[in-house]
Every structure is written in C-alpha cells, then in structure tokens.
Structure 1
Amino acid sequence: MTYLLEPPVGGIGAENQCGHRPAAADEPDREYRSPRAERIGLAGRSQAKLEATRAALGARAADWPIVIAEAHDPVALAELASRTRVVATTVGPYAKYGTELVTAAVAAGTDYVDLTGEVLFVRASIDAHHEKARANGVKIVHSCGYDSIPSDLGVHVMHQKVQADGAGELTDTTLVASLSGGVSGGTIDSLRTQIDLSRGDAALRRHAASPYSLSPDRTKEPDLGRQSDVAMVDGTDIAPQVRGWKAPFGMGSYNTRIVRRSNALQDWAYGRTFKYREVMSVGDSRLSRLYAAGVAAILGGLVLGLSVPPTRYVLDRLLPAPGEGPSEKTQRNGYFAMDIYTTTTTGARYAARVAAQGDPGYRATAVLLGESALSLVLDRDRLPDAAGVLTPATALGDVLVDRLRGAGMEISARKI
C-alpha cells in the first residue's frame, strides 16, 4: 500500500486518519494532530482491495482518490509521483518492489518515506539517487518505522542534551531494546531477500557486513576497530546501573548503520570516536546469560536456516508469510522501550529513552510512518536544510520529535 499526501487546501482542523491504525467505520472519532482538510490518496495494484481499505477507514476517507500502479510500471509510478507532494510506501521487500518508486519520486521532485530495514536496498538507493535528490531538493527518507526512528531520534536527542550541557562528544554508546509484539511476515520476507541478493556475491556480503555500509564516504570514516552489531553484552559493560546480560537485537545490524549515517551526514557531529551498538533485554536474573545465548542461537539459526535450501523449505512453511502479522489484540497490547546509554569525551554519562505503547512493527510503526509523512507535508519549512537520501534524524529532526511527543511517545534524554 502506498499513501499519497498533499498539504491541506483549507484551514487547520484536528482530525485525520493518516499514520495511525485504520479505524473501522463503526469506531468513534478520535483526536488527531493533523488537518482535516489534508488530501490523501491510496495507491496499489488492486482496485478492489484499495476500495475495501478505503471503506474500512470511515466516512472521512470516502472521497480519497485511488491510484492504480504496479511496482514495476515506471509510467504509472511516474504519474503517481507527479500528482502528490509526499509518497509514503509500505510495499516491501523494497529490494523487490521499491526501486522504481524511489526513482519516480526523485524525478518528480516528490518527497518519500518508507519502512525499509534492508541494507542493500538503501545502499543502492544512495548510490543511484542521493546526488540527484539533493540537486532537486527532494528528501528521500528510508526507515521511518520501528526500524529505525527510535534508534535514530534517541541518539539525536541525546546528542542535543550533551551539546547543551557542554559535555563533549559521544563515545561508546549502546541501545538496549525492550519490546513485546508479534512477528511480521514482511520482515521475514525482507530477510529472505537480503540473503538471496548476497548469495554467491562475496562483494555484496562484505558490503552488507561493513559497519559503515551506509556511509556517504567510507574512506572518511574513523578507524575505531571492530564494531560488533550482533553480540551478547554484560549489562555492567554498558553502564553501571544496567543489570543482566543482553542478547543480540535482531534489527541492530541495520539500525546501527542508519545512526552511523546520521553522524556522517552531519559531519560526524556526534563525535569522531562515536561507537554505537544495539542489544536486547532478556531480563536481569541470574539466568539472563543463558537466555541471551538462546536468543543468539535462534537468530543465528534463522539466518543460517534461510540460507540453506533444505531448511529454508521447512522454515518457509513455519514462519509467517508476507502479509501475515500479529492479531489486533497483540498489536494493542504491545510496547517498546529503547534505552540508550553513552559516555562522553569528558567522562560524563547520559541516557536517552524512546518508548511507546502498541506493537512495535505495526501499531507503533503506523504512527511513526504517518507522523514522518505529515512532517514533510505540514512542516516542510521547519525541517533541517538537507536533501538527498537521508535518515529520519537528518531529514526530519526536531520536527518529528515534537510530532511524536504530541502523539504520546516518550522521547527524552538526561544526565545520569
């Protein structure tokens, strides 16, 4: 599904469906922070499915236009991009279905947001489009969901707090993820695609494994030694108050590259000795090391299993299929909390937190993507003065922080 957004043609209201879980027609009205008059369209390849989706959104969506476009039809995509100001797309795996839409957006001068967590797709997008998008004044903003807004904005606000305190630059920084939610079939399919792209191509595998695989210029990156993006970590190695062993975080290998790109795009504002990693909490009991090892084994087994044809055949029948996801109850009861710890070059310690209710990959991500798109539609003149293939922090920055806080998310930083 792709959403097309334009600024309001009338006055500012208080209600809007975009960026949140679609409301059924019989649900009561809810408050939103965007204009009633905003113009939104729905795009996809199936007229019937688009009409069904629009009908489920209630009376306010009844006149939303529907645009039919296939992911590999450049003519239709060019027309789609040319008739809107912002495209928000959830069509993945993006390496399979997203390339032509980015091309169309850049050519049309249309801003773009998506939910990708695919390193190779984003690298290809940077190589193909960054310079032209910058010349055209276009913001191409990948990874505007749970991957990777909490990571990117969490470090962003921490950096701002450190700078405001005159406490130096960031050095060793670790994000600890706590979450509850379901498994997305789309995420699994994106992992399959990444594996397929790099199979038999040693250069692509090396590229994907590099901690600076999304850097604007890897030759200018500092040599900080080995940076392990998938590792078990003792909590006391993160900060004195952190207890228990932490497990590898499944999306850490992607999120870390987005955060490092944000640092480089800002001329290494976080610091030239900024090292960043992400792990996942499995509790702080005496068994936490065992639990962390179990998570590491599961993640490693999943990647290996999807890489080998016989086990992949079995896993493909056990894992959620594309389009499958958690129940409405699971989405409603889920949550995430991302706690980030750093030590600065002056020896000061800081922590940041990004947290919200709702399943991270669905309910919370709907808010993250929607508010990202609305930032581009409604607050374009207040956004950072940057164009090209960007990150959430460098493209949307404090505007998105403010919108997400207004939507009920916690985004904070403090000295500890």
Structure 2
Amino acid sequence: MKKIDELKQQKNLIVFLAIILFISITAFSTIVLANKNTVKVDASVVNIRTGPGLSYDIMTQVVGGEKINILTEENEWYKIRLSNDQIGWVASWLIGNTEFSAASNKLGKISVETANIRSEGNLEATILGKATKGTELTVLFQQNNWTQIQYNGQVAWVSSDLIEITAEKKSIIPTSITAKKNEDASIETVTVRSEGTNIRNGPSINDTILYKASKGDNFTYLSTKGEWYKVKNSDGKTGYVANWVVDLSGNKTAAPSANITSLAEATIVIDAGHGGEDPGAPASNYNEKQATLKTAIALSSRLKQAGVNVILTRNSDEFVSLNQRTVTSNQVSADAFISIHYDSTEIPNEVSGTTTYYYHENDKNLAETINKQLQVNNPLPNNGTRFGDYYVLRENSQPAVLLELGYLNHTVDQATIYTDSYSAFAVESIYQALNNYFSS
C-alpha cells in the first residue's frame, strides 16, 4: 500500500512539473513573441502620425528609450501600439535614427550679436560653436541661468541671458484627413514618392497588387475614392494608389500634402556642379568638378547619418546635363535642391568668399537660411544672398539654391578650400541650415 502511495505521489509530481514546464514555455513564448515586434526608439524625438504618410497629422511624439510595438507595415510605415495603447503610424526609416525633430516645449532666439554654444551649462564647458543674433533654436528646458537647446543635432547649452524665448510649442490636436471624393480637374499628375509603391486594382490595401511603381514615376490622375487615387500610367493601364504615398501637381488642396517637421523626413537632392567633359573653373591643384564632387559626397554622408533621403545628381566624374539635374529634382519632388559650386573670375584675386543664389522668390527663405549659417565662423568673406538666373534654379519647380563656396583663382580662397577643416565647415553649415529650415 505504501509503495502504491509513493507511486501516486511520484505520478502527481511528474504531472505538476509538466504543468509548470508547460506554463513556463508558454510564458516564455509569449514574451518572445511580444518582444519580437517590440522596438526601442533611439531618436531623441519621433513623430507618431494618424496615418501611414507625411500627409497625416502628428497625433503625439515619443522620446528616446520608449518602447513601441509594431503591429503591421504598409509602404515603409509601421502601424504601432504605444505604451498607453494608442495606435498610430511611424516612418520605418526614423526608427533607430539619432536626429532631433522639431519637437520641444519652446523656441528661442539669440538676442546678442554672437553667443557661445557650450557642451554643458557652465562657462568652463567646451564651446561647440557660435550662433549669431536672430538664430532660432529649439529650447528643451532652463535651469541655473542656463538654457538647454538642440544644436547641430545634439544637446547643447547657452547662457539664458543670451537667448530670448519667442514662442510656446503649439498643441498637437489630431484631425482626420479628408480628400475630395469626386474627380478634381485641378489635379493633373500623381508622382510616386517611394520605390516599390503598390498600384492596386481597387481603393483598398486589401485589393490585389497589379504591379509596383518606382520612385519618381508619374501617373495621370483620373479620380479620387476615399483616400485613394485612380490613376493611369503611360501604357494606359489604370489602377489605384494611396494618397499618402504620392505628391500632386496642380491644386495641392485637392489632397493632403507632405507635412515635414524635421530634416530626417525630407528628400534632399545634392547637385555636384560640372563633371566629365565639363571641368568647371580651373585651379592649380584640381578643377571645380573635383571640388564640387568631394563636397557633395561629404554632405551626402552627413545628411544620411541623420536619416535623410539623399539623392546625388552625380557620384562620379561624369557629365550630367543641366536639364537632367532639374528633372531629377522635379521627379522625386525634392524638399530641397542644393547645387554645389566653386567660383572664379577673369582676373585672379579679384573677388573672394561665399555667395548663395536663388531664382524663385519662394526659394529666398531657404537661401537666406543657408547663407545665415555660412556666416558663422566662416574663414572666408560672405557675399550674401543674391538672385541668380541659373538653369538649375530657373527650371526647378522644387525649392532650390546654388552655393558658390569660394573662388578657385583667389590665393587665400584656394588655400582655404583645399583644407579638411573648411570642407567640414561647409558641410556642417549646410547641414545645420537645412535642419533649421525644416524645423521652422
């Protein structure tokens, strides 16, 4: 009898251990499955939008270190669940990006001629750079007469006596995105923003994919159904494309347009002037085409580090027509087109310094923002912002500027341009200017 009881106890123990093991495995599997689609936000601030596209409003923002659960993916956007169970969308290319967005509690403006930007909130801290009067900076918070700010993609400090708080952050109120349900004659062309965009046989993500369109592909607009456009390609084939993955020609009020609030969400075309059979301005060490390509590649690398979608009109010593450069900008609906050049004059040593050119009045703000940054700690003279009747500006329907970053036949300019420190200055100045431009 005793032996039978012992066997029963052993059997019960085995059953109990089996149940415990099953529960442990189930719990572990649940944790693994939960963590499989959980990502940690590395960026300082990331926008969460009401739909899968830049055209949708910002519903909230998450800060670095917060975990979000990915539910599904659509056209390079993640549908996510936040820690408070809110559902929203985030651009897939921003996850893991270390770039700051425009989010902050306040904006501040430098109130003195020149202010030192420091690594910490004290006078002994390293000076990271200088900001000129009127420069707008995103303010994080203030303490002990020091103001913490966003500067050159990092956290920095400036004395509170040197900065004036100009505006509170606007509250973000989610609003629904609506589109005209009937045909809108003001829309002519629909242009695809991303590579591999789905063209479907109906106005829903559940409809069959007919084929995938390439970035920059243009379609003839036919009609609107909900948040989808019926379009026709050059072969006469019709289909539907989601309105949040395309840009429109004609009346932009016909559908939501991209609402970019940070540099990381932008598409930047960098145009290295000249190339191939067109050497540009000659110099003793190398021609303009070599100098522009070196700067363009360095700038591209800097922007890509911040998660920016960068397109180079050329990345080698090849000839690219002026028309093709503008076509590239227009096809991808660039948020900014930056043409890099180095100048020269008929008489050596006649003129020195940098100049920023624009053609369309709407592009003046971009030009002035870049030129303002090029004035800070520039070892060369700054010749200001000027109107320039250049083909790549005149025929460009996107925001465009042309930068002359020095004179190759000026003794001082030439010696300066060839240094690594000047290259770093030019690249960082343009980067910071673009960061300010899209944040504002």
Please identify the structure whose Cα radius of gyration is greater: 2
Greater relative contact order (Cα < 8 A, sep 6+)? 1
Is the structural similarity TM-score above 0.5?
Answer: no
TM-score range, shorter chain: under 0.3
More strand by share: 2
TM-score (norm 2): 0.26
